Amino acid sequence: MPYLIAPPISKELPGLWAEGSPYQADVIYDICSTDPKMPPVHYEQHVIKPHSVCHFDAPGHIIPNGKTIDVLIKENPEIFHGPVVVIRIPKPDFQPHANLPQVSHHEIPLSSLLTALNRIGMQGVPDKLFICFEGASSDFYRDPMHALTLSLESAQWLTASPKFNLFGTIWKSTDFQPGSRGRPIHTEFFSHDAGILECLNLTAVPEGEYYLSAFPIPLVGATESPVLPVLYSRSELTWNTSGR
């Protein structure tokens, strides 16, 4: 069975960025209504705040006049599908951040990436990379006391490959820069035409290589959009035509 790696979205979820509930639904047509003028259907309008759910970030998120979701889907569709490597690092050594000591932060060093990739027999930079850690909960992306990001060296190692085009994380952001307007990891990826997926749930996914399908909702002019990423194993992609 494919792995669906977006956490469920419910009305009870708290917002991650002081934005209020990330999901609201209001009934437009009620199938139980006795009003004869109402159509016999149930229909709601849905309001979703992407940055508090699993989402894709486009360059325009932090780069003025950067590419938007619809432009990437048209010009760079390979970002959203293809082989992806999932790795699992040891439980991070979270340390209080100098500018926000109540939150503990871990930058994943390049050595951790290389060790994890070597463990699964991966040589060189994958086209797409998703990162989890041992013992991570399925809702780690909502943990207010811990932050997990790449080191800049790790990000630069990935972008040194012209084929690298997507990074995915189980945390709610790819940067943690309290007290600064800088977003160095976002900038590194976006300046090399790579996309970002945040708020993934990878706890049940074994390390290894999968085929990814992760097209966001094609919102014209948007710089972020909700996604339901799906991982397929090699066996699930085998199309058996024998006997036809």
Q: In this prediction, what percent of the chain has a pLDDT beyond 70?
A: 98
E-strand ranges in 77-145 read 81-89, 95-97, 100-108, 128-133
Q: What is the pTM of this model?
A: 0.93
Among 52, 101, 119, 69, CA closest to 224: 69
Alpha helices in the chain (DSSP H): 69-75, 110-119, 152-159, 184-190
Q: Please, what CATH class does the domain formed by 3-7+50-235 belong to?
A: alpha beta
Split at pLDDT 50, 70, 90, the class of 240 is: low
Which region holds residue 18: left if phi is over 0, alpha if psi is between -120 and 50, else beta?
A: left
pLDDT per residue over 179-229, tens digit each? 999 999 999 999 999 999 999 999 999 999 999 999 999 999 999 999 999
Structure tokens at 165: 């085009």
- Rounded-to-10 torsion of CA 97, 99, 101, 107: -10
Split at pLDDT 50, 70, 90, the class of 239 is: low
pLDDT per residue over 162-183, tens digit each? 999 999 999 999 999 999 999 9
CA distance 88 to 233: 17
- Give, in order, the Cα–Cα distances in Å from 103 to each of 73, 82, 96, 106, 142: 36, 35, 6, 10, 13
- Give, in order, the Cα–Cα distances in Å from 22 to each of 28, 33, 48, 50: 19, 28, 5, 7
pLDDT per residue over 6-52, tens digit each? 999 999 998 999 888 999 999 999 998 888 888 999 999 999 999 99
